[in-house]
Amino acid sequence: MTEHADVQKEPSMVLQKEMIAAHYKALEEAPQTGKKLVYTFVPGNLNELIRCFDNLLPVHPEINALQNAMRKRTGQMILDAEKLGHSEDVCTYVKADIGMLRKGNIGPAGTKIPDPGLLLLSYTGCFTFMKWFELLREEYNAPVAMLHTPYQADGKIHGNMRDYMVKQLKEEVIPKLEQVSGKKFDIDKLREMLQRSREAEDHLVAVFEAAKRRPSPIDAYFGGVYYIGPIFSAFRGTPGAVEYYRQLHAEVDERANRKLGPITPEGEMGAEKYRLVVEGPPNWTSFRDFWKMFYDEGAVVVASTYSKVGGLYDEGFRHDPAHPLETLADYCCGCYTNLNLPSRVALISKYVQEYGADGFLINSIKSCNSFSAGQLLILREVEKRTGVAGGFVESDLVDPRYFSGANIKNRLESYFQMLDQKRKGAA
- Contact residues toward ligand SF4 (CB under 6 A) are 91, 93, 126, 128-129, 337, 368-371, 397
Count the residues in the chain: 427
Q: Please state the closest distance from residue 182 (CB atom) to ligand SF4, in A.
A: 31
Q: Is the bond into 400 cis (omega within 30 degrees of 0)?
A: no
From the list 215, 162, 364, the residue with the least C-alpha distance to 281 is 364
Q: Please state the closest distance from residue 56 (CB atom) to ligand SF4, in A.
A: 23
277 or 365, CB closer to ligand SF4? 365
What separation, in Å, do the N-terminal and C-terminal C-alpha atoms of the chain show? 37
93 or 274, CB closer to ligand SF4? 93
57 or 65, CB closer to ligand SF4? 65
Q: Rounded to the nearest 10 degrees, what angle do helices 187-209 and 239-257 cross at?
A: 10
Q: Please state the closest distance from residue 370 (CB atom) to ligand SF4, in A.
A: 4
264 or 337, CB closer to ligand SF4? 337
321 or 334, CB closer to ligand SF4? 334
Q: Please state the closest distance from residue 64 (CB atom) to ligand SF4, in A.
A: 13
Q: Please state the closest distance from residue 367 (CB atom) to ligand SF4, in A.
A: 7
Return d(Cα 421, Cα 419) in angstroms, integer: 5
Q: Cβ distance 311 to 232 under 8 Å?
A: yes
Q: Please state the closest distance from residue 397 (CB atom) to ligand SF4, in A.
A: 6
- Provide DSSP, 71-120: TT-HHHHHHHHHHTT--TTS-HHHHHHHHHHHTT-B-TTSSBPPPPSEEE
Q: What is the CA radius of gyration of the chain?
A: 21
In 98-248, DSSP assigns E strands to: 118-123, 144-148
388 or 397, CB closer to ligand SF4? 397
